[in-house]
Structures are given as C-alpha cells and as structure tokens.
Amino acid sequence: MKKAAIFALLAVGTLFFAGCGRTGDNIQGGKPIVIGDNDGVSATLEPKMADRFEVNVGSDPIRIDVYHDHATADGEISVLVSDGSKHPYAYTKSRAFFYGIKADKQKIGVSATDVATNLPYSINLPANFGKAYILVKNLTSSSQSVTVKAFTRKAPVRKDTEVDSPPQSKPEEVYGGAIVFLGQKDTYVFTGEDNSRIYLTVPGEDYLKLKLQVEGGGALISPGEDTTLMNGDKFTVYADEGVRAGFCKTYADECNDGIDTGEYKITIKRP
C-alpha cells in the first residue's frame, strides 16, 4: 500500500514539473477584444492580480491600448503580450514605449514622468501577427479598473525612402518617421550633394535609444549628432538592439497615438 502511494506521488510530481517546463502552454485564453470597438472590454484587477484578454491580428497592424482608470502614476499596471504559440512577445509598464522580452530591463528603465496618466499603456503589433494573448497585471496594493481596446494602425510611419539636399533657396531639408514596431528598421537612400551633413533628432527624451547607421562601414550616430553623406549612401534608422518601439502623433493620417516617443527627424544641410 505504501509503495503504491509513493509511486502515485512520484507520478503527480513528474506531471507537475513537466508542465512547468512548458511555460507557453500554461497561458489561458481571455476576454475577446474587437478591433475598432471604442468601448473595449473592462475588468477590475485585485491587488497584485492579473486578467487575460485576446485579439486576432489580421492583414492590418494594430495598437493595443490599456486604459487605467483613476491612475496616479506611471508603472501601476503592466501589460504582457504573447503570440499564438503562447510565447511572450512584448512587455511594458510605461506609457512612453514598449519593449521585447529579451530586452535588458536594467538598461532600459521604465520611467516616464513627462507622460500624462490619462494616456493608455500601448503595444503595437505588426500585420498578420495572428492570435495575441494580453495579460494585464495590477502592480499596486489596491483594486484597479482597466479597459482594453484595439485599433487598426498604419505602417510604416514615414513618407519617404529617398532623402535629398535642400534647394539653394532653403538652408535645410527635413524628413521624418517613427519606430513603432519591435525590430523595425527604416532604410533610406541619399540622392543629394556629396559631403552634405545629416542630423538625427527626436522630439523629447530618447526613450528608444535611436541610432542612424550609414551602410558600408559608415558612421553610427545618435540623436543630437551628425555626420557626412555622399550621393548614393544608404542609411538606416532603428532602435538600439531592436528591442524598443514607441508611438507617434505628428504625421497626419499615419498615426494618432497621442504621444511622440517613437518619432525622429532627419535634417539634411548642404555642404
């Protein structure tokens, strides 16, 4: 009898540890979100507890918005999105930006003191992402109410793939875009005069740690820096390590995020 009990306990233990090893399989489905529904889906989260939601991403990219009612600061809730295979994809507890699961959180930080608390916590998902599982967690010691919504968004957020030197009548030519998806890289071709100067700037704090890399062993610059371009040079703008992405509000008909943390400007000046 004793032997049978021991074997039974061993069997249960084996099943338990096997389940722990398959972390993705443990994610449950959640409340369905309808893309474009302005009412969204609401939930009350008990202290340190979470609720689950889900949405299907088709041929258009989307933005997931999690509104926190009666918020007093940034970082009171967190949002984790997993893909259809239930593998974690993106995470945030900041309204300013979101980042990939492999990101070094110690280097990134999550402070967003200049971002209004009436804005949502958002994560952008690319077209054809498929099923997305959304885990919203209350990080406070009191009950919190949230509303989860999803909206179609445009991509990429830029109007040009070629940049040129300014005409003689202008001192500079300005182009721009926004890094709004994880791993996004915006590549341009310079068609202007040799030895023109290129400047990279962002509208506020550099949350994404943006870089501009001139291909072929050329210069690598950060916001606030500049370098020289030759006609035919290709260069790419991206978030450092590809693990961060933000939002935009400047480009008409391209985005309406209410925050510009993913935006950048490229300024070209004649030699």
Domains 23-152 and 157-269 share a fold: yes
Residue 40, sorted as left (phi over 0), alpha (psi -120 to 50) or beta, turns out to be: left
According to the model, what pLDDT value does residue 106 have? 56
According to the model, what pLDDT value does residue 201 have? 97
Least confident residue range of 36-40, 42-46, 130-134, 214-218: 214-218
Q: What is the DSSP string of the chain?
A: -HHHHHHHHHHHHHHHHHHHH-GGGGPPP-EE--TT-TT-EEEEE-TT-EEEEEEEE-SS-EEEEEEETT--STTSEEEEEE-TT--EEEEES-SS-EEETTS-HHHH----TTS-TTSPEEEEE-TT-EEEEEEEEE-SSS-EEEEEEEEE--SSEES-SEE-PPPTT-SEEEEEEE--STT-EEEEEE-S-TTEEEEEE-SS--TT-EEEEETTT--EE-TT-EEEE-TT-EEEEEEGGG-EE----SSTTT---S--TTEEEEEEE--
Q: Burial-class residue 81 by CB neighbours within 10 Å (0-12, 13-18, 19+).
A: buried
**Which band of pLDDT confidence, cut at 50, 70 and 90, is reported for residue 19?**
very low
pLDDT at residue 12 tops 80? no
pLDDT at residue 102 tops 90? no
Degrees to nearest 5, angle at CA 140 with 138 and 144? 55
According to the model, what pLDDT value does residue 91 have? 94
According to the model, what pLDDT value does residue 253 have? 72
Percent of the chain with pLDDT over 70: 85
According to the model, what pLDDT value does residue 107 have? 61
Is the CATH number 2.40.340.10 carried by domain 23-152? no
According to the model, what pLDDT value does residue 242 have? 82
Cβ pair 188, 160 in contact under 8 A: yes
C-alpha distances in angstroms, 79 versus 29, 91, 179, 192, 262? 15, 6, 19, 44, 19
pLDDT at residue 7 tops 60? no
Mean pLDDT score across all residues of the chain: 86
Instruction: Report the C-alpha gap between 30 and 51 in whole angstroms.
Output: 8
Residue, of 40 and 103, whose pLDDT is higher:
40
Instruction: Report the C-alpha gap between 84 and 134 in whole angstroms.
Output: 11
Residue, of 65 and 217, whose pLDDT is higher:
65
**Which band of pLDDT confidence, cut at 50, 70 and 90, is reported for residue 158?**
confident
According to the model, what pLDDT value does residue 116 have? 83
Give the domain ranges of the chain.
23-152, 157-269
What is the rounded end-to-end Cα distance, in angstroms, of the chain? Answer: 90
Cβ pair 103, 243 in contact under 8 A: yes
93, amino acid identity = K
According to the model, what pLDDT value does residue 154 have? 82
Residue, of 251 and 62, whose pLDDT is higher:
62
Is the CATH number 2.60.120 carried by domain 157-269? yes
